[in-house]
Amino acid sequence: MSISEKLSFVIPCYRSEDTIEAVVRDIDETVRQRPGYDYEVILVNDCSPDNTYEVLMRLADINPRVRVVNLARNFGQASAIMAGYHYVTGDLVINLDDDGQTDPREFYKLVDRVHEGDDVVYAKYPEKKHSAFRNFGSRVNDMMADALIGKPRHLVFTSYFCARRFVIDEVLRYDKPFPYIDGLLMRVTKRVSAVEIPHRERESGESGYTIGKLFSLWLDGFTAFSVKPLRIATILGFLIAIIGFVYGVYTIVLQFIEPSEVTGWASLMAATVFLGGMIMVMLGLVGEYIGRIYISQNNAPQYVVRNTLNIEDGKNGKDTR
């Protein structure tokens, strides 16, 4: 039977030595349930400190459809995903996690919805099995996306989605550091939907998302696709200036009405500290924009590939086996 469509699975791997093998096995078994599909699994080792790379090498030895991209250092999840995108050869690209919580056995639901006419289809979880901290971070990121990049309010960004190849090819035109995958997808197309998929419990280990990584993700969204934060800072500064002016007039009038009234030192210090804090936040925000511009102008790499496995000679590296 001739192959009608090829699926490319892109999975960033970090501290997944105990879970990634089961994820690849589930993908292989699920693809075989429907004739007419070929597939490849691109596993990107984001310089994991455990034995993840050894497991990936073993999987590549067993299954020639498993491609491995080994990064030179830890660049973060988004950059690892972008590295994987550079090696896809399929008609549809499916993005999922390495911990098994994004159920690999459900990906045909995403594929079928794409075939109905959408360009990108996200998994929608009835109940997330993440920690309370991770769920809070996701909600903040979702609200930020609503306000800054025009995400439809009915849509929730998740790490499990399927996209048409032309969308991914367009995303790859972004070659600067600090990629924000969801923002790049929204920049390409508005034909985006979601389909309900159960979210599984984590089988082992714990999430690699820390406060620092979540904050970095928010900054990527803030600074890469919108100048609204700068406009908000300008408006906020203007409002505070008006409040200060009104309070100053009030103080002068009060001195004429009640000369004995003495303004309090505590209120003066509170106002000074508040205004000083606001100024520092605004300067920090401006500095973040300027710093990222500086890094981009210096051609900082989005990622660096140390070596690849089961990948033929190409534009970004060659098979070192």
Q: Is residue 259 part of a domain?
A: yes
- What is the C-alpha separation between 271 and 70, in angstroms, rounded? 53
Q: Which positions ≥6 away from 276 have C-beta within 8 Å?
A: none
Pairing, β 305-309 against β 161-164? unpaired
Q: Is residue 15 part of a domain?
A: yes
Q: Is residue 285 part of a domain?
A: yes
Enclosing domain of residue 282: 228-297
The answer to whether residues 181 and 193 belong to one domain is: yes
What are the two backbone dihedrals, phi and then psi, of residue 193, each rounded to the nearest 5 degrees? -145, -175
What the block records as the tokens of 141 is 């990121």
The answer to whether residues 233 and 146 belong to one domain is: no
Q: Is residue 180 part of a domain?
A: yes
For 17, 63, 81, the CA distances from 45, given in Å and listed in that order, are 11, 17, 10
pLDDT tens digits for range 155-204: 888 899 999 999 999 999 988 888 889 888 988 998 999 999 998 776 66
The answer to whether residues 92 and 233 belong to one domain is: no
What the block records as the tokens of 86 is 């550079």
Q: Which positions ≥6 away from 71 have C-beta within 8 Å?
A: 44, 45, 46, 47, 79, 80, 83, 303, 304, 305, 306
The answer to whether residues 236 and 200 belong to one domain is: no
Residue 294: the pLDDT is 59
- Dump the DSSP string for 223-284: HHH--HHHHHHHHHHHHHHHHHHHHHHHHHHHHHH-TT----HHHHHHHHHHHHHHHHHHHH
Q: Is residue 22 part of a domain?
A: yes
The residues of the chain scoring below 50 in pLDDT are 1-2, 314-321
Number of domains in the chain: 2
pTM: 0.74
Residue 130: the pLDDT is 53
The answer to whether residues 192 and 79 belong to one domain is: yes
The answer to whether residues 36 and 149 belong to one domain is: yes
pLDDT tens digits for range 108-144: 999 999 999 999 999 998 876 555 555 565 566 666 6
Q: Is residue 122 part of a domain?
A: yes
Residue 182: the pLDDT is 87
Query: If we measure between CA atoms, which residue out of 145, 147, 171, 207 comes closest to residue 79?
Result: 171
The answer to whether residues 18 and 34 belong to one domain is: yes
Residue 320: the pLDDT is 36
The answer to whether residues 71 and 193 belong to one domain is: yes
The answer to whether residues 154 and 254 belong to one domain is: no
The answer to whether residues 243 and 195 belong to one domain is: no
Q: Is residue 320 part of a domain?
A: no
CATH code of the domain containing 33: 3.90.550.10
The answer to whether residues 305 and 293 belong to one domain is: no
Residue 136: the pLDDT is 60
What are the two backbone dihedrals, phi and then psi, of residue 48, each rounded to the nearest 5 degrees? -65, 135
Q: Within 13 Å and on the Cβ side, how many CA atoms surround 163?
A: 25
The answer to whether residues 70 and 171 belong to one domain is: yes
